[in-house]
Amino acid sequence: MSLLDIKGLTIHYITHQNTVRAVNDVDLSIDTGKTLGLVGETGAGKTTTALGILRLIQTPPGKIVSGEILFDGKDLLKESEHNIRMIRGNDISMIFQDPMTALNPIMRVGDQIAEVVYLHGDCTKEEAKERSLHMLETVGIRAERSTEFPHQFSGGMKQRVVIAMALACKPKLLIADEPTTALDVTIQAQVLKMINELKAVYNTSMLLITHDLGIVAETCDEVAIMYAGQIVEYGNLEHIFDNPKHPYTIGLFKSLPSLDKDVERLSPIKGLMPDPANLPTGCKFHTRCDHVCEDCKAIEPAYQEIEPGHFVRCLRVERGEI
Amino acid sequence: MIKYFIKRLLWTIPVMLGVLVVVFTITYFTPGDPVMTILGTGYTPERYAAMAHEFGLDKGYFGQIGSYIWNLISQGSFGKSFASNIPIAQEIAIRFPVTLKLALLSTFFVVIVGLPLGILSATKQYSAFDTSLTAVALILCAVPSFILALLSLILFGVKLRWLPISGLDTWKSWILPVATNALGGIAVLMRMTRTTMLEVIRQDYIRTARAKGLKESVVIRRHALQNCLIPVLTVIGSNLTMQLAGAIIIETIFNINGMGMYLMQGILARDYPVINGTVILIAFIVCVMNLAVDLLYALVDPRIKAQYTSGKRKAKAIRKLRSAKTEVE
Ligand SMILES: Nc1ncnc2c1ncn2[C@@H]1O[C@H](COP(=O)(O)OP(=O)(O)O)[C@@H](O)[C@H]1O
Ligand SMILES: [Mg+2]
């Protein structure tokens, strides 16, 4: 059985002017110890999905309209606020996109780690402190620096502190929301390696949100491609990298530079992602698709399993036309 | 840190000197002859000259300001009142505690009422509580304190006869002056706290704190409040100085024998030494308050503290480097 099983998750941001349909009917699942990559361009709804799992969507304007989030067999959307708090930081923890702002600027980094340990750890303050020092050393920061404040750390080190904080309670699921996007390229690799190693040590499952397919190839077991709030293609690494079916996924690969293929020019996907407050009818991708037909504009494609474990949301793939 | 404190303290000296010169100059060149005010009508030229000499008014501008500053520094003396001939320092010593108590009490209420209301208002943004409180605060911000003082005096003192209307004899008589002096400040602090808090609770680190599984009340108390306090401190500091200024009006309305009333009497009687003395003292308090707020900043915000200490550390490192260099040489 999978650790996390999301079914039909739909999240909207409702304001006076409009309704932003950020996440629409998303299905995802992650097995114990496995890593799922969630890939999509900015505004696709990745962060909203992640925050939805922890029930941290700001309400208002955000609202989880429908769906189920089964974690260890329990529906998180039906849990009490108290139970959710017991899960947050303990069973499911999250690494946020921007380490520069993710830490409280006026609290010592050691205390920020010890806080979460003390909250869930069933231990004394001293033991929590002890554990926070251990966690700092685990992520490669000397324990003496625990009394320093975030402004005394570089971006990469701040992200390490955030990782230490997220893993301090040995969560079953780690949600990493673009953990390396804000970092220098050289630091990116280090941080990613560290997350991977620690994840293996603690046997943690991971939802890795990124827009970097290279990172996915190195890190993930399964991949979900998100577009305009929907999962358009889902499968394991071979499915997605060797046999991509959805025109959007194919477009993503075409827009990447490659060393082995000798292409003259990159071909980015034309156009822009539609405004999630004003989504087109039919297939959400039809405005940018090379294979668009009349039906694509009217009929909403179903999420179809085309081979075991490989799902695609495309009318023309479903009909075997492409 | 201590070095910074001393530096800031020393800086108040030129500031105070500047205030002193400005205040003295203004009262000196104000039309009206203080000797004539003291003597009234029907005096002889000899009597006029004797009086002018007694108060040092025959010395000219530079002579007068010079001896004023000299007396202030050497004896702590503000001179004598023209009207009563009593040393002003002595009068201030009686009245200053009254005004300070009024200002501190008002500030105390401003903080213990304004701060929590602002926080509550922010955490319950757009609720009925928040909207009605914001509306009330807006009105209170706009109404000058003397209108509030007069209206409440009429209502609670004259019509309902619940509270005394003048003096400071019982604890009851403090209620109206403190309340009317504090209300405007409460409204300002509340609005400021609300705005700051709304900004703070949108920050990423608050989301991090929530993602840890902390209770919302703990998130607010431990993570949001202290971050929100930094800008709010300025408001509290400037509020105390505003309370001092407001005290002049409030004391006059409620007939309280403090610095404000003393200053008012001085102005009405053209008793220039009284005006000089009280204004200079109030300016000094404002200087001290600003200093205190700056120091509190450093206590609350480690980033600011680091600036001061890092200067010291840098200096130490440089000194080390230099001594190493000389050793090599
Ligand atoms: N608090 C919010 N209020 C209104 N709209 C929001 C809010 N947060 C996100 N959105 C919108 O939801 C959509 C998805 O955002 P997000 O989940 O952050 O995307 P991603 O993480 O994939 O870049 C975007 O169009 C964004 O503008
Ligand atoms: Mg995002």
3 state SS of A184 = coil
Q: CA-CA distances (angstroms) from residue B160 to B145, B148, B152, B164?
A: 21, 16, 10, 10
C-alpha distance across the termini of chain B, in Å? 34
Q: Tell the burial category of A59 from Cβ atoms under 10 Å away from its Cβ (0-12, 13-18, 19+).
A: exposed
Q: Is A20 in the pocket of ligand 1 (CB under 6 A)?
A: yes
Nearest CA to ligand 1 atom 14: A45
A26: Cβ below 6 Å to ligand 1?
no
Q: Which of A89, A96, A119 sits opposite B204 (nearest CB)?
A: A96
Ligand 1 pocket check for A48: Cβ under 6 Å: yes
C-alpha to C-alpha distance for A223 and A178, rounded to whole angstroms: 15
Nearest-atom index, ligand 1, CA of A45: 17
pLDDT of residue A261: 63
Predicted pLDDT at B126: 84
pLDDT per residue over A84-100, tens digit each? 999 999 999 999 988 88
pLDDT score for A235? 95
Q: pLDDT per residue over B243-261, tens digit each?
A: 888 887 888 888 888 998 9
Task: Give every CB contact of residue B158 below 8 A, 6+ residues apart in sequence.
Answer: B165
CA distance A99 to A92: 19
Q: Name the residue at shortest CA distance from atom 6 of ligand 1.
A: A13
pLDDT higher than threshold 50 for residue B35: yes
User: Where does the pLDDT of residue A260 fall: very low under 50, low under 70, confident under 90, or very high at 90 and above?
Assistant: low
Query: pLDDT by residue (tens digit) across B108-125?
Result: 999 999 999 999 999 888
Distance from CA of B229 to the nearest CA of A (A): 11
The average pLDDT across A136-157 equals 91
Spatial distance between the Cα atoms of A117 and B170, rounded to a whole number of angstroms: 54
Helix H or strand E encompassing A233: strand A230-236
Average pLDDT, chain A: 91
Q: From B302, which residue of chain A is nearest by alpha-carbon distance? A: A106
CA dist A194 and A210 (Å) reads: 16
- Rounded to whole angstroms, the Cα distance separating A121 from B251 reads 58
Whole-angstrom distance, CA of residue B74 vs CA of residue B95: 23
Average pLDDT, chain B: 84
- Point out the least confidently predicted range of A55-64, B30-39, B125-134, B205-214: B30-39
Count A/B contacts: CB-CB distance under 8 Å. Answer: 72
Question: Which single residue is written with the structure tokens 């700092």?
Answer: A136
Q: ipTM for the complex? A: 0.90
pLDDT value, residue B320: 58
Peptide bond before residue A60 is cis, with ω within 30 degrees of 0: yes
CB A243 within 8 A of CB A289: no
Interface of A with B (CB under 8 A): 54, 56, 85-90, 93-94, 96, 98, 101-107, 115-116, 119-120, 149, 151-152, 162, 165
Would the pLDDT of A262 be above 70? no
Atom of ligand 1 lying closest to residue A15 CA: 4
Residue A175's DSSP bridge partners are A94, A207
A313 touches ligand 1 (CB under 6 Å): no
Say what the pLDDT of residue B329 is.
Answer: 47
State mean pLDDT over A63-78: 93
Q: Is the minimum distance from the CB of A278 to ligand 1 under 6 angstroms? A: no
**Domains of chain B (ranges, CATH numbers):** 2-75 (no CATH), 88-285 (1.10.3720.10)
Structural tokens at position A185: 């390229």
CA-nearest residue, atom 9 of ligand 1: A48
pLDDT at B328 > cutoff 60? no
Summarised one tens digit per residue, pLDDT across range A161-189 is 999 999 999 999 999 999 888 888 888 88
Compare A21 and B40 and report the one with higher pLDDT: A21
Q: What pTM did the predictor assign?
A: 0.81
pLDDT of residue A216: 92
**How large is the average pLDDT for residues B124-131?**
88
